[in-house]
């Protein structure tokens, strides 16, 4: 059988994939597209994680789609609510009919001779067997996020094999795990740990969050009734759009304040934490990090639930280093012992930009060389034609960043349609490349990000070889930047008549 052919193949049916599909079908209606999703349902991250309390750590006003705003007053929604919202949005726009569930892309290869990508796919049958398929695509857009679903960040925890209780990573949590009445130690201090502690403390005998270094945690209101209030004076659709712009303006100012004035930002965030913690709590030891806000991720919690949990007698934070795990708990280097029936290793994600698939251009591996390629406007890789990577922000709300990068790709494709180009490939003049610094695309100093620097695209010190962390700056570059800068286009040879 002839391989199926589509103009644009989108890999992943999470937030980024659905948003990209919407932008493609509304701005490029003459192009065919399909979303290839390895699992049996949409949702991406929000259909995958199952640990207690799982929720977003961003305001849903911005985390939702700009083209179909979040319709509820809930600020930080739980995973199932986000997944249901995504399902409703996809169905309303007909995007759900374009999703091929159970289609895992295992390899992509570009042929300059064909000016096409060939996608090798493993498609799941109803009987559990796997059918191999081939899809040809003019463009491939990766929208499956930046971490592996199959494996977490590998870490060494001395003596963990001796532990007599249960060890579980949040990435593989399932409903059969029972923590009620048990002594639980959470190893980690990121968004997952901040979410888990108040959720587990409701029924566990005790919960201790064990961190090597202090963290920043900021509280957001549980509800945001701004859109409801504005709806009294204007149509609901206008109110939600205005609300989106208000929140974007507020977030941009907040992030810029913390990055521009790190000392004042630190004082502000630590001061807000101090107000919500118990009076005798050692704030300087546990919540006054050596790094500035957004050097590592700033964690958010709804309605101060994390701080409220620390007022309970069964919840605490320990800032120390593990000496060894014993049969009954954890021995810290300070000599303190943490008794445990369960250890939750919330130690980070494994960075995997292409979701483990093998990619090549004319036989040359892309997968093995990502760490040596520059990123064009944060969304295309140097030397890789007709291919985009959709990622959002790590120092701000994810979705606006994913959206501006999808629109950047569409701007390139529109230029190709206008000029008749068959391929667009980011290209740097060798002389310019030799002088340009090579920095990781993410500046976060979190362990899971630092460990991925050699697998992460690089950025330079001049446009378009930069990857912004601000929606305002990236949108300005989108509007004013040229798709000819740093890009080499290929045109089909003219045929003799």
Distance in angstroms (rounded) separating the CA atoms of residues 443 and 230: 38
241: CB partners within 8 A, 6+ apart:
69
By the 8 A CB rule, do 153 and 22 touch? no
By the 8 A CB rule, do 2 and 135 touch? no
Tens digit of pLDDT for each residue in 78-103? Answer: 999 999 999 999 999 999 999 999 99
Q: Number of helices (H) and strands (E), helices first, in the chain?
A: 14, 27
pLDDT at residue number 8: 98
Query: What pLDDT band is residue 448 in, cutting at 50, 70 and 90?
Result: low
Strand partners of residue 139: 8
By the 8 A CB rule, do 150 and 130 touch? no
Distance in angstroms (rounded) separating the CA atoms of residues 149 and 75: 26
Tens digit of pLDDT for each residue in 230-279? Answer: 999 999 889 999 999 999 999 989 988 988 999 999 999 999 999 999 99
Question: Which sign, positive or negative, has the C-alpha torsion 88, 94, 100, 104?
Answer: negative
pLDDT at residue number 102: 96
Query: What pLDDT band is residue 416 in, cutting at 50, 70 and 90?
Result: very high
Task: Mark 462-483 as b/e (b = at least 16 C-beta within 10 Å).
Answer: eebbbbbbbbeebbebbeebeb
pLDDT at residue number 446: 67
Distance in angstroms (rounded) separating the CA atoms of residues 188 and 210: 6
222: CB partners within 8 A, 6+ apart:
74, 75, 76, 302, 303
21: CB partners within 8 A, 6+ apart:
10, 33, 35, 90, 95, 98
Mean pLDDT of 361-382: 93
Q: How far is C-alpha 66 from the geometric centre of its chain's CA atoms?
A: 17
Distance in angstroms (rounded) separating the CA atoms of residues 326 and 446: 27
Segments in 324-443 forming alpha helices (H): 398-419, 430-435
Residue bearing the bigger pLDDT, 495 or 17? 17
Residue for token digits 């700056």?
473
Helix axes 15-27, 398-419, angle to 10 degrees: 30
By the 8 A CB rule, do 373 and 384 touch? yes
Residue bearing the bigger pLDDT, 413 or 288? 413
337: CB partners within 8 A, 6+ apart:
326, 329, 330, 331
Query: The tokens of 266 are what?
Result: 């630190």
Using the predicted structure, report yes or no on whether residue 496 has a pLDDT greater than 60: no
For residue 337, the surrounding DSSP H or E stretch is strand 337-339
Beta strand 130-142 with 116-124: parallel, antiparallel or unpaired? antiparallel
Mean pLDDT of the chain: 92
411: CB partners within 8 A, 6+ apart:
478, 483
Residue 102 gets which letter from DSSP? T
143: CB partners within 8 A, 6+ apart:
10, 11, 12, 14, 16, 17, 20, 390, 402
Query: The tokens of 345 are what?
Result: 């290793």
Beta strand 380-381 with 375-376: parallel, antiparallel or unpaired? antiparallel
Strands of 322-325's sheet in order across: 322-325, 329-332, 337-339
Query: What pLDDT band is residue 5 in, cutting at 50, 70 and 90?
Result: very high
Residue for token digits 């899971």?
448
Query: The tokens of 77 are what?
Result: 């929604």
Using the predicted structure, report yes or no on whether residue 14 has a pLDDT greater than 50: yes
Q: Is 361 helix (H, G, I), strand (E, B) or coil?
A: strand
Find the length of the chain: 497
List the beta strands (DSSP E) in 32-129.
33-36, 99-100, 103-111, 116-124
Phi, psi of 367 (to 5 degrees): -55, -45
329: CB partners within 8 A, 6+ apart:
183, 185, 337, 338, 339, 340
Beta strand 358-361 with 349-351: parallel, antiparallel or unpaired? unpaired
Q: How far is C-alpha 41 from the geometric centre of its chain's CA atoms?
A: 18
**How many alpha carbons lie under 13 Å from residue 413 in its C-beta half-sphere?**
25
Tens digit of pLDDT for each residue in 169-193? Answer: 999 999 899 999 999 999 998 899 9
pLDDT at residue number 455: 79
193: CB partners within 8 A, 6+ apart:
186, 187, 209, 211, 346
Phi, psi of 48 (to 5 degrees): -100, -50
List the beta strands (DSSP E) in 12-115.
33-36, 99-100, 103-111
Tens digit of pLDDT for each residue in 142-156? Answer: 999 888 888 888 888
Residue bearing the bigger pLDDT, 364 or 352? 364
pLDDT at residue number 245: 93
Using the predicted structure, report yes or no on whether residue 212 has a pLDDT greater than 80: yes
């Amino acid at each position: 059988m002839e391989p199926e052919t589509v103009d644009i193949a989108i890999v992943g049916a999470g937030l980024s994939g659905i948003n990209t599909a919407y932008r493609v079908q509304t701005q490029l209606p003459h192009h065919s597209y399909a979303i290839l999703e390895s699992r049996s349902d949409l949702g991406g991250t929000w259909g995958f994680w199952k640990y207690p309390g799982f929720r977003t750590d961003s305001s849903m006003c911005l985390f939702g789609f700009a083209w179909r705003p979040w319709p509820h007053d809930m600020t930080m929604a739980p995973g199932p609510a986000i997944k249901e919202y995504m399902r409703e949005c996809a169905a309303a726009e007909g995007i759900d009919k374009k999703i091929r569930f159970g289609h895992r892309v295992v390899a992509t290869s570009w042929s300059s001779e064909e000016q096409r990508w060939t996608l090798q796919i493993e498609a799941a049958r109803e009987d559990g067997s796997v059918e191999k398929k081939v899809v040809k695509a003019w463009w491939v857009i990766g929208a499956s996020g930046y971490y592996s679903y199959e494996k977490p960040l590998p870490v060494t925890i001395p003596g963990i094999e001796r532990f007599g209780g249960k060890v579980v990573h949040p990435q593989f949590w399932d409903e059969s795990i029972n923590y009620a009445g048990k002594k639980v130690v959470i190893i980690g201090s990121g968004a997952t740990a901040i979410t888990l502690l108040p959720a587990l403390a409701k029924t566990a005998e005790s919960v201790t969050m064990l961190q090597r270094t202090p963290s920043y945690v900021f509280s957001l209101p549980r509800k945001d009734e701004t859109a409801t209030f504005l709806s009294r004076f204007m149509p609901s659709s206008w109110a939600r759009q205005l609300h989106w712009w208000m929140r974007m303006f507020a977030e941009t100012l907040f992030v810029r304040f913390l990055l521009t004035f790190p000392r004042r930002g630190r004082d502000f965030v630590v001061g807000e934490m101090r107000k919500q913690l118990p009076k005798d709590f050692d704030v300087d030891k546990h919540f006054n990090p050596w790094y500035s806000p957004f050097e590592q991720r700033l964690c958010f919690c709804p309605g101060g639930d994390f701080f409220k949990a620390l007022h309970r007698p069964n919840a605490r934070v320990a800032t120390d280093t593990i000496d060894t795990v014993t049969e009954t708990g954890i021995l810290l280097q300070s000599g303190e012992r943490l008794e445990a029936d369960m250890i939750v290793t919330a130690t980070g994600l494994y960075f995997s930009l292409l979701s483990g698939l093998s990619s090549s251009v004319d036989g040359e591996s892309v997968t093995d060389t990502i760490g040596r390629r520059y990123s064009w406007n944060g969304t295309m890789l140097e030397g890789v034609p007709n291919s985009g990577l959709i990622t959002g922000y790590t120092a701000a709300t994810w979705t606006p960043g994913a959206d501006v990068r999808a629109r950047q790709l569409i701007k390139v494709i529109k230029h190709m349609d206008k000029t008749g180009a068959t391929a667009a490939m980011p290209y740097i003049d060798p002389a310019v490349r030799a002088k340009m610094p090579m920095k990781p695309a993410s500046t976060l100093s979190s362990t899971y990000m630092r460990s991925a620097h050699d697998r992460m695209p690089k950025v330079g010190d001049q446009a378009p070889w930069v990857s912004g962390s601000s929606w305002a700056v990236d949108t300005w570059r989108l509007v004013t930047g040229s798709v000819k800068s740093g890009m080499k286009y290929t045109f089909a040879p003219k045929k003799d008549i």
